[in-house]
Structure 1
Amino acid sequence: MIRKPLLVALILIILLLGAGEALSPGFASMQQILRLLIVAALLGVVAAGQNLVILGGREGIDLSVGGVVSLAAILAGNVMDGNNANIIAAIAVCLAAGGLVGLFNGVGITIFGIPPLVMTLGMLGVLQGLLVVIRQGIPSGLAAPALANFVSKPFLLGLPGVIWLWIGVGLLMAFLLRRTTLGYRIYAIGSNENAAFMAGTPVKTVRIMLFVLSSMFSALAGLCILGYAGTSFANVGDSYMLSSIIAVVLGGTPLSGGKGGYTGTMAGAFLLVLMQSILTTLSIGEAGRQIIYGITLLVLLLFYGRSKALRG
């Protein structure tokens, strides 16, 4: 059992930066690290919602996050259509759509008793089918210039706005989990759902809220990904499903829930992006990277992903 996964993640980040510099001089330069942080921020925002769902226990993994990212990117691109004046409307539409998807997931899981993996995988299929029918894989919509600048250009103290957004998400998550009643309830439910229910915790309401928040974080990430890419494809969010889970587990939150936090997930997101960059430097293709991600998740689960026993 690895007892300090955050420390392990930080050590691995340092080692991988050193390895990357040895493989390709300049890999560990500040400019390159900044680019990696931008990509990590996009993943980190998705992983924030995934982190909440996993903390809630009962094998609560949200497999629909990639579909929500894609849906939000396409909705935002078509609403703003390259016009700065439409950014607020695009944000509202994205968050509303994400919240609605999360609500369907939460209700299906808590009210109708559908297992989280089955419900969210089914929702992913619905979203992917919907996007293919609507856009047929063709790029759709344009990011507004202000959004593109926010994601990629220096915003404050030389850092792009999306990194500051990620810092804000980190502070929000820390406050939510450690300083609010909802946060205490999340840990209680994840540790022992039956005991939390007997203590008067509204378990079903909290679990629905977790899936709503997960989808809204994914929608926010989809909006930022649109700004990063300039346009969107129907499958732009596909890579975030598995990677968001790995980032959470890398940060020390077991899939059994009830313990962990978002600080470790932030380190896990950067570590995963760093690993991806090194694999790209080594010219390993997409198929090879997916195999490595899967093996990484299995190894993490073996060491500290599931704790000693699943919680009820």
Structure 2
Amino acid sequence: MSTLTAIARHPTAIALALVVLLLALGQALSPGFASPQQIVRLLVVAALLGIVAAGQNLVILGGREGIDLSVGGVVSLSAIIAGNLMNGADSGIALAVLACIATGAFFGLLNGLGVTLLRIPPLVMTLGMLGALQGLLVVVRQGIPSGRAAPALSGFVTQPLLLGLPGIIWLWIAIGLALAFLLGRTVFGQRIYAIGANEAAAVMAGVPVKAVRVALFVLSGVFAAIAGLCLLGYSGSSFANVGEQYMLPSIIAVVFGGTPLAGGKGGYTGTMAGAVLLVILQSILTTVNIDESGRQMVFGVTLVALMLVYGRGRALRT
């Protein structure tokens, strides 16, 4: 009984239970909401959010109130770069993928160096980077849609690839398995938890804290760039600030999945469940005709509520 109670109280189990309840609620409000086809569509949207949240999860696990607010700007910039390099041709996919990954890694590296070498608080550093990216996008594109997704990329994101599931869902599953291995079976994963739990003790134990933290921000930028590439395939075209919608939800998904903002514990499995939950919630809000501003208010209130319940986990570390 104690084991069952512990499972029932686990954030991942709570998130999955709420997913089922929300699906039932959606079905009651709009028949067909929980149909297999609709669930697959919801999973595709959840995969986009979940890929962004993968990098966010790593940064938060590293502690020191590490939140990456620049992910939305990286998503937008990567989508625009990929769209212009492809311009509707499959032959441009390889170059677009490399360019997106390089772009995400570059801005992630800048964030990491700012946080570690210049000792700028992560919130300030990444918020400043977001502003710089938004300004760059406005200057370059002026809000005008630019570039087109290659047919192969659009098919990978939206069309069934294996067992009736689009390729992006399988990509998301692969990312989940890779992060589970990284966090649970590698020295690097152990170091992430170590610096998140007690940075001073990690330094005394010989953990290269600065190098690990920089790597976390680089990975966050790379995952955001991959999400931007997939978002281009989902929408077909790109425009400035298309990635802003992922900044706050990516944080909420991580927190709801059981990773406290103080870092040091948690994992990506719960974050995946949290991403699905948030997408279903957003879909229900859309079904009942709540506009974008109302949805953002709901997300903000949800984040505050989660922090009050278990988001911070334990006292902040110094």
TM-score (norm 1): 0.99
Quote the offset at 1:311 in angstroms: 2.1
- Find out whether 1:160 has 2:137 as its counterpart: no
Query: Deviations 1:164-223 (Å, cap 9, x if unpaired)?
Result: 000000011001100111000000000000000000000000000000000000000000
Alignment-derived partner of residue 276 in structure 2 = 270
Counterpart Cα distance in 1 of 2:292 and 2:246: 14
Query: Residue 192 of structure 2 contacts residue 264 of structure 2 at CA under 8 Å; is this kept in 1?
Result: yes
- Find out whether 1:127 has 2:127 as its counterpart: no
Alignment-derived partner of residue 243 in structure 1 = 249
Q: What SS does structure 2 have at the residue aligned with 1:239?
A: helix
Quote the offset at 1:157 in angstroms: 1.2
Counterpart Cα distance in 1 of 2:9 and 2:33: 30
Q: Which amino acid aligns with 2:261?
A: L
Alignment-derived partner of residue 123 in structure 2 = 117
- Find out whether 1:108 has 2:114 as its counterpart: yes
- Find out whether 1:300 has 2:301 as its counterpart: no
Percent identity of the aligned residues? 70
Counterpart Cα distance in 1 of 2:313 and 2:28: 36
Runs of 4 or more, structure 1, over 6 Å off, are none
Q: Which amino acid aligns with 2:90?
A: N
Q: Which amino acid aligns with 1:148?
A: S
Query: Deviations 1:124-180 (Å, cap 9, x if unpaired)?
Result: 000000000000000000000000000000011111000000000001100110011
User: Counterparts in 2 of 1:214-229, with a 5 A limit?
Assistant: 214-229=220-235
Q: Which amino acid aligns with 2:221?
A: S
Out of 53, 56, 80, the position equivalent to 1:74 is: 80
Counterpart Cα distance in 1 of 2:16 and 2:276: 9
User: Counterparts in 2 of 1:170-249, with a 5 A limit?
Assistant: 170-249=176-255
Q: What SS does structure 2 have at the residue aligned with 1:141?
A: strand
Q: Which amino acid aligns with 1:299?
A: A
Count of residue pairs the alignment pairs up: 311
Q: What SS does structure 1 have at the residue aligned with 2:148?
A: coil
User: Counterparts in 2 of 1:17-96, with a 5 A limit?
Assistant: 17-96=23-102
Quote the offset at 1:307 in angstroms: 1.3
TM-score (norm 2): 0.97
Alignment-derived partner of residue 285 in structure 1 = 291
Q: Which amino acid aligns with 1:238?
A: E
Quote the offset at 1:3 in angstroms: 4.6
Query: Deviations 1:271-294 (Å, cap 9, x if unpaired)?
Result: 000000000000000111010000
Where in structure 2 are there 5+ consecutive unaligned residues? 1-7
- CA root-mean-square deviation: 0.8
